[in-house]
Chain A
Amino acid sequence: MTRVSVTVDGVSYQDEVEPRLLLVHYLRERLGKVGTVVGCDTSNCGACTVLLDGRSVKSCSVLAVQVTDRTITTIEGLAAEDGTLHPVQQAFHDNHALQCGFCTPGMVLAACDLLSENADPSEDEIREGIEGNLCRCTGYQNIVRAVQAAASEGRASSASTGATTGVTS
């Protein structure tokens, strides 16, 4: 057993884990963070995407023991404490960018990362930016629209407050 000490969605956890335990299983089965899901076993689908120190990672391809002393944001910790949705979450709702919703946690967090790097992506840049996340329901059209909407919302709010849309916790 190896010790892991990590902050997830603002709460610190210390646990003894098997060295082989995947981060996604640690999140789901030890911490109960079942908002993060597993969609494949070859790191293709991106359903398990979380933010690790603000950058998106597929939590199925990270070991729990690798995140010691780091900070993770899952879909469950993205909205504000008062329940206000993150602009990307809100844009997904406003643009019907989810149907079954299984890919949504990963897709939203991948989009957050994309926008933190590029506040004004073109459609092609969005499509390439989220190509590591698979969706079977939407044909991506409304996801692309949602990311465009979140980007323009982010630019508008950063123009007024200096904040950015991306999560940089």
Chain B
Amino acid sequence: MTAVENRPAAEIGQSRLRKEDAHLLIGRTTWTDNITLPGMLHLAILRSPMAHATITSIDVSAAKQRPGVVAVFTGQDFAETQGSIPCAWPVTPEMVNPGHPSLAVTQVNHVGEAVAVVVARDKYLAQDALEAIDIDYAPLPVVLDMEAALVADTTLVHGHTSSNRSFTWTFESGAAGTGAPIEDTLRDAEVTVRRRFIQQRLIPSFMEPRSTVVSPNGEGVTMWSATQVPHILRTMLALTLNIPEHKVRVIAPDVGGGFGGKLQVTPEEVICTLVARKLGKPVKYTESRSESLMSAHHGRDQIQDITITAKRDGTVTGLDVHLFADMGAYLRLVSPGIPVLGAFMYNSIYKFAGYRFVCEGVFTNKTPTDAYRGAGRPEATFAIERIMDALAGELDMDPMELRRKNWIKHEEFPFTTVCGLTYDSGNYEAATAKALELIGWDELRREQAERRARRDPVQLGLGISTFTEMCGLAPSRVLGSLDYGAGGWENASIRVLATGKVEVVTGASAHGQGHETAWSQIVADQLGVPFDDIEVIHGDTQSSPKGLDTYGSRSLVVGGIAVVKAADKVVEKARAIAAHMLEANPDDLEFAGGSFSVKGSPGSGKTIQEIAFAAFAAHDLPDGMEPSLDSDATFDPENFSFPHGTHLCAIDVDTETGRATIRKYACVDDIGEVINPLIADGQIHGGLAQGIAQALYEEAVYDADGNLTTGTFVDYLLPSASDLPSFLTGRTVSPSTTNPLGVKGVGEAGTIASTPAVVNAVVDALKPWGVQDVQMPCTPERIWRAVAEGVGGAATADRSAEGTVAYGGASTASSDGSGEGEQL
């Protein structure tokens, strides 16, 4: 039997090096694009160069004659069978979903939409044949600007709808009974500050391009795909294509990052399935990066009109949020739910009396938007943390003092917010104190004053973000009340093998998060078996049949707890067998360090490994006992978890060139108990990089014709190592009270918190110029213009401000130079 003496007293809390690394470090990887099957054919997809057009004719006959080409298909070939890309989150009963063909049939609605597919012997030949497809398009006027899209009698993205509005989703604290009527707080306000913030369009930019292999298999299919959501994909694929669900197997092998970008049922996955079934052959499609940037879903892209009210003493009273959220051309899996998920987070850690949130989902001729790391919550955090700074400016108060005055005090937990959510735990005071010390805040403030006084051309800006987020998606009953089409539970099962080794099957499908390591640590503690004796199995609907996958910082908080619950059941089964073996009463046994012993008689014990073998042999079990320790559990959380933290940014802004350089970035995150500090810190680091990138670097830009002008990594500026600082990270621990591990989730914290800290710092640096806002990304051009224009210039944050390119139309030149906008 396996020895247990090598086991530390507790695995949880140890910085265990990752099990996942071994094969990744030596290139023995299973990325979907690495898969080769006998007889496999390769797909290349022809994509629309037009943002909005009617397809008047398609001629594929020449392409079919190209060498190595097996078949060419258009939308007409699959018009009756392809169904619609599913939208699982109809946020209102009236929501308009125009339908989303995988392969365009009669009309294209964004550049990059799939219009034809070539099937050939190899990838090069498939790609070569695309040029032989002849398509005529009749252009339609292009809809790009969300507000223009909502004007009456404007061009419709989808001619069969009555407007470009998909939905209007509203929450109001008076009506909900969770706070005062918003109209009362607005009317009674002593101070009112209004701002318009722009959440630019972002591209998730996972490093592994999406890839799908489909092998037809009798009535069904086996699909390998670079997906975050094999289980959701299986169910949705079955529903969309009318394949019996039990005939569909989805495998997510090694998956190279997702960040929400692979939380999707993609047109490419549907097309691969249709073609494989039609030809009866396995097929593979792997996108190029350029295809990925224009056709994989985008994120953010909202206009945020925010009104905050307060008393003269700085006590906040009301928050009124109006959003325009760009859905792009179609609704994908959870597109409408993304901005709505933010609805409960705008009030953040502050005690508002009244609150209103109105979100209008709008169709435009752009790539659809959907989940991107944080998904609704970064937008909310940005808006509230930016407007708290604006309010502080209006009141001439220190921005940290304003926050302190209004946040939920440690002794007030649990606290029910104006949105009706109950925050179970937190300590904003402690996290803030630690962060201020970590960065050396007071010294930086002194230096800032000194540099301001001497009119240093390089000014120092200091930015704050005291944030919280709702994680652990999600209590199923809450999802139901929000009209989401599924639950939020997670499943785990544990198999104890004859030799005492343990297999843990999880429904959370990892793609870089380190579940194999963290779950092993959890089970090692729960069962008292060595870390190395545990194998974690995930990412294949055949071996891990039940789950809801990985997104929304849910894996540990929901999936990890399911593992704990399954382990509890194993222990209870083992207890019965141990009692039989020890001829004792089960209630007289205690379980510690992997061994059952009679209370008060240490050394009399039976190890879990011995019990596992006894269960396997089944020679002498208690009457009626099944010969197995195997267990499974499905856990549905009772509440969200609420990680929080204080992020501080010190940034040098060169007022002559506009260049902003982060000098110091410090964050103290309270993510509750930590299973593996090394992995948790890694999640924070990566999250920070993405949040900082929104503040300073990244933006998906369309020209006036609807062409994505940031369609490669040359133009879409992912930060490199030299663009980012080293981060100072710290932790406080306020354990979650709603789950047995006290964990809260960490996947999105860095991204959610960091963006406003950076922008607040940029704006703070330019305070002597009267600058009140710089639109993201805060490029040298925008900062330079803000300095040049000073008060009343960039301060308005108007979308038509120069240097603003995100919103097509007004300020962007047509690609042929003839557009109505100004030339940049």
Question: Which positions in A face B, CB cutoff 8 Å?
Answer: 18, 20-21, 25, 28-29, 33-42, 44-45, 47, 74-76, 78-79, 85, 89, 92-94, 96, 98-105, 108, 123-124, 126-128, 130-144
Contacts and interface: CB of A to CB of B under 8 A. Distances in A.
A132 B720 CA distance: 7
B453 interface: no
A123 B33 CA distance: 34
21 contacts: A21-B124, A39-B207, A42-B713, A44-B714, A45-B713, A76-B28, A96-B18, A100-B206, A100-B257, A101-B21, A102-B256, A127-B720, A127-B722, A134-B718, A134-B720, A136-B690, A139-B687, A140-B689, A141-B726, A142-B682, A142-B685
B727 interface: yes
B20 interface: yes
Interface in B573-596: none
A85 to B, nearest CB: 6
A37 B721 CA distance: 20
B721 A136 contact: no
Interface string B695-734: 0000000000000000011100010111110110000000
The secondary structure that dominates the B interface is loop
B289 A139 contact: no
A140 B724 contact: yes
B26 A100 contact: no
A38 B207 contact: no
Contacts of B255: 100
Contacts of A131: 720-723
Contact of A75 (B27, B206, B712, B714): B27
Contact of B206 (A76, A104, A136, A138): A136
Given A136-B259, A138-B685, A37 B28 contact: no
B674 to A, nearest CB: 14
Contacts of B689: 136, 138-140
Contact of A42 (B26, B34, B513, B712): B712
Report, nearest first, the 6 A-B pairs whose CB atoms are least far apart. Answer: A35-B27, A101-B24, A102-B256, A100-B512, A139-B689, A139-B685
B475 interface: no
Given A94-B17, A136-B257, A104 B24 contact: yes
Given A35-B26, A39-B209, A79-B26, A101 B254 contact: yes
A44 B720 CA distance: 10
Given A35-B26, A96-B679, A144 B713 contact: no
A99 B17 contact: no
Contacts of A28: 34
B290 A41 contact: yes
B782 interface: no
A61 to B, nearest CB: 13
Contacts of A94: 17
B290 A101 contact: no
B31 interface: yes
B288 interface: yes
Interface in B506-547: 511-514
Contact of A92 (B20, B25, B122, B690): B25
Contacts of B513: 99
A98 B25 contact: yes
Contacts of B720: 127, 130-134, 140
B25 A39 contact: no
A98 B685 contact: no
Given A34-B34, A76-B28, A93-B21, A100 B721 contact: no
A35 B28 contact: yes
A139 B686 contact: yes
B2 interface: no
A129 to B, nearest CB: 8
A34 B31 CA distance: 9
Most A CB within 10 A of own CB, among B29, B123, B255, B513:
B29
Contact of A89 (B25, B124, B722, B750): B25
Contacts of B34: 28, 34
Given A40-B712, A123-B726, A144-B726, A138 B682 contact: yes
Nearest to B514: A99
B144 interface: no
A39 to B, nearest CB: 5
B724 A139 contact: yes
B209 A141 contact: no
A101 B256 contact: yes
Given A38-B33, A136-B206, A136-B718, A105 B27 contact: yes
Contacts of A42: 289-290, 712-714
B207 A76 contact: no
A37 B208 contact: yes
Contacts of A103: 207
B691 to A, nearest CB: 10
Contacts of A136: 205-207, 257, 259, 686, 689-690, 718
B721 A76 contact: no
Contact of A36 (B20, B25, B27, B687): B27
A127 to B, nearest CB: 4
